[in-house]
């Protein structure tokens, strides 16, 4: 499991990140533990206590998260990437604090590594990979494109434009798109319930792959 945001340094005291609270990813980790799975939770900085029983790996940047996932992915049956990885990072973070008196800095940005795309070649036939797609518009199209481009078995798409679901709140609604072409809706519910339903769908894929 990955969860939470990543932080990308601008200088020693400033960073760029996003509004991910980690709640959805932590809920999936808790659901997996409750179902009797061994769970490794690779987490960005969040204000949540990890579910008891998970192996917890704390990371800060997208590069850290990639290294942590790469190291552990061979050992897992199921990878769920719920982390909201920052898309861009300053190409040259300043070594010393930027002075406010110098005015707003011009920052040269570069993309962070795409973790799922980078590890896709390591995926074994018996493994199931699931991503998340947080979108404000064109949810279905974007989710299906990511499913294809990131070589996933499933992607859980959620609308982050509405205040009653998605980032930072306790409820969510998901549409799970499967590589096989089907989709399954999980109606607005506490994240724990969304997580349990997502996990069940992913367990079905895992079971088919192991046959």
Catalytic residue numbers read: 18
Q: Is 41 in the site for ligand C5P (CB under 6 A)?
A: no
Q: Is 22 in the site for ligand C5P (CB under 6 A)?
A: no
Q: How many positions of this chain bind ligand C5P (CB under 6 A)?
A: 15
Of residues 11, 64, 114, 193, which one binds ligand C5P by CB under 6 A? 114
Q: Is 132 in the site for ligand C5P (CB under 6 A)?
A: yes
Q: Residues with Cβ < 8 Å from 115, sequence gap 6 or more?
A: 2, 62, 65, 66, 69, 81, 83, 85
Residues 45-104 that bind ligand C5P (CB under 6 A): 62, 81, 83, 85
Q: Is 133 in the site for ligand C5P (CB under 6 A)?
A: yes
Residues 139-158 that bind ligand C5P (CB under 6 A): 146, 150
Buried b (16+ CB within 10 A) or exposed e, 30-64: bbbbeeebebbbbbbebeeebbeebeebebbbbeb
Q: Which residue's CB is nearer to ligand C5P, number 22 or number 50?
A: 22
Q: Is 165 in the site for ligand C5P (CB under 6 A)?
A: no
Q: Is 29 in the site for ligand C5P (CB under 6 A)?
A: no
- Are the CB atoms for 41 and 26 separated by under 8 Å? yes
Q: Is 33 in the site for ligand C5P (CB under 6 A)?
A: no
- The least CB distance from residue 191 to ligand C5P, in Å, is 16
Q: Which residue's CB is nearer to ligand C5P, number 91 or number 99?
A: 91
State the number of CA atoms in the 13 A half-sphere of 151 facing the CB.
13
């Amino acid at each position: 499991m990955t969860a939470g945001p990543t932080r990308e340094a601008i200088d020693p005291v400033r960073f760029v990140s996003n509004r991910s609270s980690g709640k959805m990813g932590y809920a999936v980790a808790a659901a997996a533990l409750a179902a009797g799975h061994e769970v490794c939770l690779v987490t960005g900085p969040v204000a949540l206590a990890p579910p008891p029983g998970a192996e917890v790996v704390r990371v800060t940047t997208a590069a850290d998260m990639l290294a942590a996932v790469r190291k552990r992915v061979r050992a897992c049956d199921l990878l769920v990437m719920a982390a909201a990885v920052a898309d861009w990072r300053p190409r040259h973070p300043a070594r010393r604090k930027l002075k406010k008196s110098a005015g707003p800095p011009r920052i040269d940005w570069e993309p962070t590594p795409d973790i799922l795309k980078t590890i896709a070649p390591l995926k074994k036939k018996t493994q199931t990979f699931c991503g998340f797609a947080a979108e404000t518009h064109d949810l279905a199209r974007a989710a299906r494109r990511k499913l294809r481009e990131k070589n996933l078995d499933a992607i859980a798409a959620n609308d982050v434009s509405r205040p009653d679901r998605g980032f930072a709140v306790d409820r969510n609604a998901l549409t799970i798109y499967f590589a096989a072409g089907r989709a399954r809706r999980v109606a607005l519910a506490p994240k724990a319930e969304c997580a349990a339903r997502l996990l069940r769908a992913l367990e079905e894929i895992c079971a088919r792959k192991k046959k």
